[in-house]
Chains A and B, each alone.
Chain A
Amino acid sequence: SQQGEEDPQALSIQEGENATMNCSYKTSINNLQWYRQNSGRGLVHLILIRSNEREKHSGRLRVTLDTSKKSSSLLITASRAADTASYFCATGIIQGAQKLVFGQGTRLTINP
């Protein structure tokens, strides 16, 4: 069953602006992971945030997690044309092995 739902489904901004993508989910999770996918390619891992963490940073990326609201956000600062891609959140649930359940993704376009 689908767990994560990203918002918005599509986002188009100018280069240099910040991009914010949101993710909501329905059940308890162990972690939440964000991925990027360029058209027709595999998924590139961006950040993992555990359920007991509230915020993580990696370069121009900032991820927040609010388990009380069952939501997460990915902020990309000072966007570049190369950031154009689809971004997915995936909720990690450990039931024996770890399972990731993905949302539909946000299609981000950075205009030069």
Chain B
Amino acid sequence: ETGVTQTPRHLVMGMTNKKSLKCEQHLGHNAMYWYKQSAKKPLELMFVYNFKEQTENNSVPSRFSPECPNSSHLFLHLHTLQPEDSALYLCASSRSAGTNSGNTIYFGEGSWLTVV
């Protein structure tokens, strides 16, 4: 138990569906992240939020839409996905970097997404 909870753990959706992934952290952190892990590829950073503001969009297609209503919650809204978007989506959180040389980033268990 890392203090970062993701739901659902598994999701199967059609290409025309709209669904959302949810992430909640109980660690009092101010930074939250979405990563994508596909087979045979390194983990890819998708989005970064710092104090609820999006600070990084790593050229992610617009069919992925993040939302961060507060520092504890992060959503990834999914719309008209493609089969190649099937992957493990990992949420993470950390304290904001501040002036030190960085903080531990804690990951959730991930949401397995299958697009059919």
Contacts and interface: CB of A to CB of B under 8 A. Distances in A.
A binds B: yes
Interface of A: 2, 30-31, 33, 35, 40-45, 48, 50-52, 88, 90, 92, 94, 96-105
Interface residues of B, number: 31
A52 B105 contact: no
A97 B107 contact: no
Interface in B61-116: 88, 90, 92, 94, 96-97, 101-110, 112
B105 A33 contact: yes
A42 B110 CA distance: 6
Contacts of A44: 2, 107
* Residue of B56, B101, B107, B110 with most chain A CB atoms under a 10 A cut-off: B101
A47 B10 CA distance: 29
Contacts of B102: 30-31, 48, 50, 92, 94, 98
- Tell me what chain A mostly uses at the interface: helix, strand, loop, or mixed: strand
Contacts of A104: 41-42
Contacts of A35: 107
Interface string B24-44: 000000010100000001110
A88 B90 CA distance: 15
Given A97-B96, A101-B45, A104-B42, A30 B101 contact: yes
Given A97-B55, A101-B45, A104-B42, A41 B110 contact: yes
